[in-house]
A and B are shown apart, each in its own frame.
Chain A
């Protein structure tokens, strides 16, 4: 286990300094700041903190420098799992070994730190943060089991980062920076990097915790520092009557939307920010949440974002910083598993329906590694890559894929894999694809009526709307079928300008903007199962909505909607 003295912890020291200097009475609330009791609850602990500050002033804990990463060889041992033991131990060790790196003096294993008062203080501080305490660390096991090395985290912060962390830029930035640096520590990042934009998923209401977090930020005056788009919410503001959830839930969802707008985010309300006019370019660092958007940004645009979730998205947008780790770095963008299409018919290769099903296969076998796909037509349009990525991010934790000869970082297989051979080679056959397609259908389609069709997960693009208009060819949707298409308000505006909007609505299609049919109650009662062309929708809708689903191509969906029963082209799925 490695000791370390890091600037990140130095930042922590500074926070203690602020506590010591800026806050006096126990439990006293400082305007715009968190109450003191959250940090230090007892007179004793405050005394310990103050002692620490005196020690620091006298040079005993002169840890303010930005230091390099430390790495400790723990010797030849059996398989082990090691990690930092937490901030409290890191801190005290850092202080103990400050100025002199004991490990550089030939000690194979650093001594256990004395459990002095300082250690106690940090330990208690952690305990005071909650029942479980906050301990953040990251172990990285390098090398083979007989000689395991543990690489410690040492996060170097710039002065500007530290200023944010210590509250010089206000409490909102301090909170946001705590989350960014906290996550950076778990990722083993050695520094942060600047981002040029963010896409926020936190604006979708999941419960009071989302409101609590956004309120904490907004009340402290948070403003985003980079152009920031917003993901879907639970409410379609253009068609508010569609919402059939509880009024209370609706009000909370709107409040969450308002909070994020108040922080300077653009009210784009789409899960496909890459279909907006401005999108990040090759090599640009962004912080995007929303799994399908993440895959698209990394894979198709060649922009760089890690798999960010809720909360960190807005924190990165506020601070303008993200961990220099994960998919931001070349070394983590190399393809690892090769999927080669074999024996797939020309008809299927040339059809929209291949992409989501292939993505579902790839994601389920890839986990969180980076897949490389070979055998796709070189002129594959963007909306198919979107469907592929969103499916892979649903069946797996895929944040990026390479398509050889198609995506920008994969001109060749060698380039996609960074010059290394793939660790696994997987042939994808028509049988694999057919199985995956069948997995996406939970409904017993022979006994149950078709109740609804839902397209547009992720939000439909202009190209996809055009295809639906063509397939529909002026025919109306069968009266027993509810037909929904989800899209972003920007795309819907353009659909209107092209003259398609009115004809789609006249055919009986309900357009849903700003949200999506599988995350919020807009579909109402469905008499039967729902059919979709989206692997992501098919994957999540049964659990979210409690309905049965069937999966088919967009052609199947339109033909079935017109006929009022399932009409599916199975021929192209044969070898």
Chain B
């Protein structure tokens, strides 16, 4: 399946679905890679190394920093698969690339594909935005 590339890169990992958008600042720990927002349905879930599905962005403009810091500490998601782009997250990915030569790729898919990826256990993303799945 082909996704639209916001910030490209290769990634591979288990699929984690966030049932609600997450503010990465105030909702995710760059130190531990865990969702810390107690109001969030996935509170306590580890996002590090995962292909994280989240329909859109949310909350704090400090999320850019948290993404960059998580990339530095190697606790970041492997990639973000979204339905709507979020400039705050994209900025974090772009800056992480500048600073550390690594990034969190961000791709966009439509609702049908999103649901299909959500059903998979594992996903592979190419730098061109191609996504392959394992059930």
Contact = CB atoms under 8 A, between A and B. Distances in A.
Given A83-B3, A132-B127, A204 B62 contact: yes
Interface residues of B, number: 68
B88 A213 contact: no
A290 interface: yes
Contacts of B8: 85-86, 126, 132-137
Nearest to B88: A309
Of the listed residues A85, A135, A312, A326, the one surrounded by the most CB atoms of chain B closer than 10 A to its CB is A135
A131 B68 contact: no
Contacts of B84: 367-368
A312 B87 contact: yes
Contacts, number: 242
A137 B6 contact: yes
A15 interface: no
B107 A83 contact: yes
B23 to A, nearest CB: 7
A201 B11 CA distance: 29
A85 B130 CA distance: 9
B108 interface: yes
A419 interface: no
Contact of B105 (A80, A132, A213): A132
A393 B86 CA distance: 13
Interface string B61-102: 111111011011100000000001111111110111111111
A83 B98 contact: no
Contact of B101 (A85, A129, A393, A540): A129
B69 A210 contact: yes
Contact of B1 (A81, A134, A307, A311): A81
B65 to A, nearest CB: 4
A503 to B, nearest CB: 33
A543 B35 CA distance: 9
B88 A139 contact: no
B13 interface: no
Of the listed residues B4, B9, B10, B71, the one surrounded by the most CB atoms of chain A closer than 10 A to its CB is B4
A389 to B, nearest CB: 13
Interface in A524-575: 539-540, 542-544
A126 B38 contact: no
B90 to A, nearest CB: 5
A357 to B, nearest CB: 15
B65 A202 contact: yes
Nearest to B73: A207
25 contacts: A38-B101, A80-B110, A81-B129, A82-B4, A129-B97, A130-B100, A132-B8, A134-B7, A134-B9, A136-B6, A206-B62, A206-B69, A207-B69, A209-B69, A216-B99, A309-B62, A309-B92, A310-B64, A326-B87, A367-B21, A367-B84, A539-B26, A542-B38, A543-B36, A543-B39
Given A311-B65, A326-B87, A543-B27, 13 more contacts: A126-B8, A130-B103, A132-B8, A134-B9, A138-B6, A182-B94, A186-B85, A210-B69, A213-B95, A310-B62, A310-B68, A311-B64, A312-B64
